[in-house]
């Protein structure tokens, strides 16, 4: 079984029968002869992930566990609230959600732009036949380019895909631009949570775990956005465009599966290895990872959703009252998730 891959292999494309172009926008990936969407850079990457996973399982390991318990927490606005607003002609909150999601995707390009430390010196075992041995051999680069595209080559990634989907249903220029929050990972404010490791390794491990949570929970909004776009009552004057927008999001979801799976694979592999510590000793990596993950997962599925919902509520209430009056605001609030 092939377990070592070159950078060129991990970033190679399938031969597409058709490029991915939507209303003149060149987007990544393409279509096979049957018209099925094929993610970019997935020819050898998908095979490699499969082989590394089989190898991990043969050693008694498993993909890192990430399940639906990570999807808990109130949402503001939830699909029912968003639908109510759109029915009453208030499209700004939905437009903002789509825009912020696209801009957050663009930030993911840092995976391709930043030089991360190699884990080879941290890990006692030989990682050359593992996915974690290929992080800086194309795996993180491919991931980052999936998110932020190749603007220099005129190829849009997920960021542009969200903007194209958005512009299909809400005319450009309708709303003022918005920016996402500075940091969407857990604020760690300089405190060391893996003091037994050198800080650059803590930084990378924390990034991988935060990213898994962010990618996993992103699915909540992806599903909501599709549900709204596919609601026959909404965007009644442009149903076909709304269906097409939902299709673009489906392609993003297909790409994201590769990201979630590769992150679960990296962390699954890491749970089976041994880390070198700053004091010259070693520690089973799973001790460090599981401890960090427990705190992070609790924050991301309990504390963070409540905070985010409260922030959204504070932003939305004045907007709804101004555009729809007190009666609409009251109706909106009766649909809210329990908090
Ligand atoms: Fe993405
Ligand atoms: Fe992703």
pLDDT band at residue 190, thresholds of 50, 70 and 90?
confident
Decide if pLDDT at 279 tops 90: yes
Q: Any idea which ligand is nearest the CA of 211?
A: 2
Q: Which residues touch 150 (CB under 8 Å, ≥6 apart)? A: 28, 157
Q: How far is the CA of 252 from the centre of ligand 1 (A)?
A: 6
Domain with 167, as residue range(s), is 72-334
Is residue 59 in some structural domain? no
Tell me the longest C-alpha to C-alpha distance in the chain: 67
Q: What is the pLDDT of residues 106-128, one digit of tens each?
A: 999 999 999 999 998 999 999 99
Residue 18 lies in a domain: no
Q: Which residues contact 166 (CB under 8 A, 6 or more apart)?
A: 95, 98, 99, 102, 245
Average pLDDT value for residue range 286-308: 93
Tell me the whole-structure pTM to 2 decimals: 0.95
pLDDT band at 189 (very low <50, low <70, confident <90, very high): low
CA of 321 to the centre of ligand 2 (A): 35
Q: Which candidate, 259, 272, 311, places its Cα nearest to that of 58?
A: 272
The answer to whether residue 325 is domain-embedded is yes
* For the CA of 263, the nearest ligand: 2
3-state helix, strand, coil in the chain (%, to 5): 60, 5, 30
Taking the centre of ligand 2 as the mean of its atom positions, its distance from the CA of residue 279, in whole angstroms, is 35
CA of 328 to the centre of ligand 2 (A): 36
pLDDT for the residue 289: 97
* 220-243 pLDDT tens trace: 999 999 999 999 999 999 999 999
Tell me if 16 is assigned to some domain.
no
Number of domains in the chain: 1
Q: In the beta sheet, which residues pair with residue 274? A: 284
Q: Which ligand is nearest to the CA of 142?
A: 2
User: Does residue 171 sit within a domain?
Assistant: yes
CA of 108 relative to ligand 2 center, distance in Å: 7
Give the environment of ion ligand 2: residues with CB less than 5 A. 215, 256, 259
What angle, rounded to 10 degrees, do the helices at 140-148 and 158-169 form? 20
Q: How many angstroms does the Cα of residue 327 sit away from the middle of ligand 1?
A: 37
Angstrom distance (rounded) from CA 273 to CA 127: 9
Arithmetic mean of pLDDT, 58-81: 93
How much distance in Å is there from the Cα of 256 to the middle of ligand 2? Answer: 5
Q: How far is the CA of 157 from the centre of ligand 1 (A)?
A: 8
Tell me the residue ranges of DSSP E strands in 61-141.
none
Which percentage of the chain shows pLDDT scores above 70? Answer: 99
* DSSP letters for 277-311: PTTS-EEEHHHHHHHHHHHHHHIIIIIHHHHHHHH
| 14 part of a folded domain | no
Q: Is residue 176 part of a domain?
A: yes
In a domain, 24, yes or no: no
Distance 262 CA to ligand 1 centre (A): 13
pLDDT of residue 191: 85
* Ligand minimally distant from the alpha carbon of residue 259: 2
Quote the DSSP letter at residue 177.
Answer: -
Tens-place pLDDT, residues 145-186: 999 999 999 999 999 999 999 999 999 999 999 998 877 677
Q: What angle do CA 160, 171, 233 make, to 5 degrees?
A: 105
Ligand 1 centroid–CA 303 distance in Å is 24
Query: What's the 285 CA to ligand 2 centre distance in angstroms?
Result: 25
Centre of ligand 2 from the C-alpha of residue 248, in Å: 15
Query: 129-155: buried (b, 16+ CB within 10 Å) or exposed (e) per residue?
Result: ebbbbbbebbbbbbbbbbbbbeeeeeb
What is the Å distance from ligand 2's center to 117 Cα?
Answer: 21
């Amino acid at each position: 079984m092939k377990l070592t891959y070159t950078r060129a292999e991990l970033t190679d494309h399938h031969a597409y029968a058709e490029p991915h172009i939507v209303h003149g926008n060149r987007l990544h990936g393409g279509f096979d002869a049957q018209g099925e969407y094929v993610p970019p850079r997935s020819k050898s990457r998908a095979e490699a992930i499969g082989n590394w996973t089989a190898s991990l399982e043969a050693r008694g390991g498993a993909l890192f566990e990430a399940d639906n318990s990570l999807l808990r927490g109130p949402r503001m606005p939830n699909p029912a609230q968003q639908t109510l607003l759109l029915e009453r002609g208030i499209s700004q909150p939905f437009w903002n959600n789509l825009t912020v999601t696209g801009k957050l995707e663009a930030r993911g390009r840092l995976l391709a732009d930043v030089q991360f430390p190699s884990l080879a010196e941290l890990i006692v075992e030989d990682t050359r036949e593992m996915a974690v041995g290929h992080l800086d051999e194309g795996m993180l680069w491919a991931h980052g380019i999936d998110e932020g595209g190749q603007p220099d080559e005129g190829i849009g990634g997920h960021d542009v895909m969200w903007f194209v989907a958005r512009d299909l249903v809400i005319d450009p220029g309708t709303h003022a631009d918005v920016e996402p929050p500075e940091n969407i990972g857990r604020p760690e404010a300089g405190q060391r949570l893996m003091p037994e490791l050198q800080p650059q390794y803590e930084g990378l491990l924390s990034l991988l775990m935060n990213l898994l949570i962010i990618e996993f929970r992103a699915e909540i909004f992806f599903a909501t956005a599709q549900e709204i776009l596919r609601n026959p009552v909404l965007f009644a004057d442009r149903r076909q465009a709304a269906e097409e927008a939902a299709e673009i999001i489906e392609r993003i979801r297909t790409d994201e599966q590769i990201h979630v799976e590769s992150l679960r694979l990296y962390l699954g592999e890491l749970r089976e290895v041994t880390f070198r510590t700053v004091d010259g000793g070693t520690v089973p990596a799973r001790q460090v990872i599981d401890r960090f993950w427990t705190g992070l997962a609790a924050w991301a599925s309990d504390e963070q959703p409540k905070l985010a919902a409260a922030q959204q509520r504070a932003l939305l209430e004045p907007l709804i009252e101004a555009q729809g009056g007190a009666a609409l605001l009251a109706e909106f609030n009766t649909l809210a998730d329990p908090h």
